[in-house]
């Protein structure tokens, strides 16, 4: 598809939209959509629809001049996300941008704020923006202070890559390439064999949806969740049950949770007990006291992991695992 093409889909129009994550002094400009517009009140990146014949970058420069009365230098693409709304499907491409001249002024938005990347997820973002916000929230933009960043070799995405290499011992280049091409610097022909996917808990792509799908296909699973709600166990109960009946997998499946901060209610523990008895899943509780004690846990360790591993066997017999982890809050 051409960059700025708008086509019909079974869910309606595909609207090609561009957004600017404008960086100044390590902070990012966040804008709140004005009243009377679609998605009024949600936070977004300033920008708008790509017009026929325009490239995405041309469209973004024009939109920023019109909306914020200033000029920006457009640096790297963060990602492209597709989101269905009731009025159509938005394909939002977000770019890191730097202020070139002028000061952003409000013409259409009801409010703008400069936020540190790590604080951005606490705003109420338009669903299409959630993926870009998560990616930007872990970027170190401080290093770009005062820079207009026209040199692609200085991209903040390079910072992410080098941090991954630094902090993920033993990560192979294929894992890193797949993370970059599948999640960070999205390419339409990606991802590779690891096919990473960001689950950002918006409609149609929630942790509950994905866990349900994985239970359908997994031969066995390991779940380690510090907190469990009775509602979550109830809503997934039938999936757990049919997974156990289908593959007899429950004998090899394990779930561990904790008493951390007394968050889990007695109802949640009753539901887990029922899960254990009905499906045979090996359910365990880490009884480590509260987080306030520096040496909680049987081995003096606090318990706060959130990870899921689903094992399945492909037709050629080789195993594959899928790991997920909730973004720490
Ligand atoms: N500009 C922008 N629009 C977004 C974002 N996230 C998101 O879902 N959208 C949606 C809201 C709108 O339905 C659509 C873009 O419309 P818009 O109203 O900003 O575009 P525009 O300036 O070209 O609009 P128009 O008033 O000229 O029709 O994409 C975002 O971060 N920035």
**Which residue minimizes the CA distance to atom 22 of ligand 1?**
48
3-state helix, strand, coil in the chain (%, to 5): 35, 30, 40
Alpha carbon distances (Å) from 35 to 32, 42, 114, 120, 205: 9, 10, 21, 21, 28
Q: Looking at residues 109-134, what average pLDDT do you find?
A: 93
225 and 298 assigned to the same domain: yes
Highest mean pLDDT among 82-96, 141-155, 164-178: 82-96
> Which ligand 1 atom lies nearest to the CA of residue 63?
22
Under a CB-based contact definition with an 8 Å cutoff, are residues 40 and 46 in contact? no
pLDDT given for residue 173 in this prediction: 58
Mean pLDDT of 317-321: 45
Is residue 182 assigned to a domain? no
Most confident of 63-67, 205-209, 236-240, 278-282: 63-67
Per-residue model confidence as pLDDT tens digits over 179-235: 777 777 666 666 566 667 777 767 777 888 888 888 888 888 889 888 888 888 888
Residue 319 has pLDDT above 80, yes or no: no
Q: CA dist 309 to 151, 164, 252, 314, Å?
A: 40, 21, 12, 16
- The CA 256 to ligand 1 mean position distance, Å, reads 43
* Segment 61-69 mean pLDDT: 93
Determine, yes or no, domain membership for 266: yes
Mean pLDDT of 84-100: 91
Domain boundary among 116, 148, 180: 148
> Is residue 104 domain-shared with residue 219, that is, in the same domain?
no
**Which pLDDT band, with edges at 50, 70 and 90, does 154 fall under?**
very low
10 CA to centre of ligand 1 in angstroms: 21
Q: Is residue 130 a part of any domain in this protein?
A: yes
- Burial level of 172, CB count in 10 A (0-12/13-18/19+)? exposed
Please state the pTM of the whole predicted model: 0.50
Q: Which two tokens stand for residue 115?
A: 């936020």
Q: Based on the domain organization, do 140 and 249 belong to the same domain?
A: no
**What mean pLDDT is reported for the chain?**
77
Say which CATH number the domain at 60 has: 3.90.79.10
C-alpha–C-alpha distance, residues 208 and 202, integer Å: 11
The DSSP code sequence of 132-180 is: HHHHHHT---GGGTT-----GGG-HHHHHHHHHHHHSTT--HHHHHHHI
44 pLDDT higher than 70: yes
- Ligand 1 center–CA 23 separation, angstroms: 20
The DSSP letter of residue 184 is I
Lowest pLDDT segment from 47-51, 112-116, 265-269, 322-326: 322-326
How far is the C-alpha of 209 from the C-alpha of 201, rounded, in Å?
9
pLDDT at 238 over 50: yes
Cβ atoms of 80 and 66 within 8 Å: the answer is: no
The string of DSSP codes covering 189-221 is T---TT-------BTTB-HHHHHHHHHHH-SEE
Domain co-membership, 122 together with 219: no
Distances (CA, A) of 81 to 44, 106, 126, 248: 13, 26, 12, 38
Asked if the model's pLDDT at residue 295 lies above 50, the reply is no
- Domain-located, residue 162: no
- Give 268-286 as a DSSP string: HHHHHHHHHHHH--EEEEE
Residues 96, 75: contact at Cβ < 8 Å? yes
Residues 6+ apart with CB under 8 A from 183: 79, 135, 191, 196, 197, 198
H or E stretch including 61? Answer: helix 56-68
Q: Is residue 2 part of a domain?
A: no
- Given this model, what pLDDT does residue 115 score? 94
Give the tokens for residue 157.
């995405």
Q: Are residues 114 and 232 in the same domain?
A: no
Residues 32 and 117 in one domain: yes
Of 307 and 115, the one with more pLDDT: 115
Could you read off the pLDDT of 101-115 as tens digits, one per residue? 788 988 889 999 999
Q: Is there a single domain that holds both residue 14 and residue 138?
A: yes
Which has more pLDDT, 150 or 259? 259
With bands split at pLDDT 50, 70 and 90, how would you rate the model's confidence at 314?
low
Q: How confident is the model at residue 130 (pLDDT cuts 50, 70, 90)?
A: very high
What's the structural domain count of the chain? Answer: 2
Indicate the top mutation candidate among 20, 44, 67, 85 to test ligand 1's pocket, ranked by most ligand atoms within 8 A of CB: 44
The residue with greater pLDDT, 176 or 118, is 118
Share of the chain above pLDDT 70, in %: 70
Residue 218 burial (CB count, 10 A): 23
Range of the domain at 216: 207-324
ipTM metric: 0.95
Do residues 141 and 12 share a domain?
yes
Residue 17 alpha carbon to ligand 1 centre in Å: 6
Nearest CA to ligand 1 atom 18: 48
Of 14-18, 274-278, 280-284, 311-315, the least confident? 311-315
User: Does 201 reside within a domain?
Assistant: no
Does residue 86 belong to any structural domain of this protein?
yes
Q: Are 137 and 40 part of one and the same domain? A: yes
**Same structural domain for residues 135 and 230?**
no
Question: How far apart are the C-alpha atoms of 197 and 183, rounded to whole Å?
Answer: 7
Q: Phi, psi at residue 61, to the nearest 5°?
A: -60, -45
In which element (H, E) is residue 234 found? helix 230-247
pLDDT of residue 63: 95
Does residue 18 sit in the same domain as residue 99? yes
Q: In terms of domains, do 130 and 257 share one? A: no
Determine whether 241 is exposed, middle or buried from the number of CB atoms within 10 Å of its CB (0-12, 13-18, 19+): middle
**pLDDT of residue 20 exceeding 90:** yes
**Residues with a CB atom less than 6 Å from ligand 1:** 15, 17, 19, 37-39, 44-45, 47-49, 83, 90, 92, 126, 128-129
Peptide bond into 37 cis (omega under 30): no
Residue 168 domain flag: no
């Amino acid at each position: 598809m051409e960059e700025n093409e708008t086509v019909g889909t079974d869910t309606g129009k595909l609207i090609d939209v561009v957004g600017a994550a404008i960086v100044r002094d390590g902070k990012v400009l966040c804008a709140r959509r004005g009243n009377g517009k679609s998605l009024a009140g949600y936070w977004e990146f300033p920008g708008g629809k790509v017009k026929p014949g325009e490239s995405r970058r041309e469209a973004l420069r024009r939109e920023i001049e019109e909306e914020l009365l200033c000029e920006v230098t457009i640096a790297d693409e963060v990602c492209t996300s597709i989101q269905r709304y009731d009025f159509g499907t938005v394909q939002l491409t977000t770019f890191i941008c730097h202020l070139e001249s002028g000061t952003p002024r409000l013409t259409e938005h009801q409010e703008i704020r400069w936020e540190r990347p790590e604080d951005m997820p606490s705003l109420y973002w338009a669903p299409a923006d959630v993926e870009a916000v998560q990616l930007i929230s872990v970027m170190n933009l401080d290093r770009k202070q005062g820079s207009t960043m026209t040199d692609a070799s200085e991209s903040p995405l390079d910072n992410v890559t080098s941090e991954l290499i630094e902090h993920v011992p033993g990560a192979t280049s294929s894992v890193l390439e797949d993370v970059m091409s599948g999640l960070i610097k999205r390419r339409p022909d990606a991802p590779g064999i690891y096919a990473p996917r960001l689950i950002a808990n918006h409609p149609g792509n929630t942790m509950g949806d994905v866990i349900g799908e994985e239970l359908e296909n997994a031969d066995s699973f390991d779940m380690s969740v510090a907190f469990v709600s009775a509602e979550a166990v109830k809503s997934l109960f039938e999936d757990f049950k049919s997974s156990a009946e289908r593959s007899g997998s429950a004998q090899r499946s394990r779930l561990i949770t904790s008493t951390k901060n007394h968050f889990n209610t007695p109802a949640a523990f009753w539901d887990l007990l029922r899960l254990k008895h009905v499906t045979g899943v090996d359910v365990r509780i880490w009884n480590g006291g509260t987080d306030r004690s520096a040496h909680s846990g049987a081995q003096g360790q606090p318990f706060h992991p959130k990870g899921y591993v689903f094992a399945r066997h492909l037709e050629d017999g080789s195993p594959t695992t899928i790991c997920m982890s909730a973004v720490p809050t």
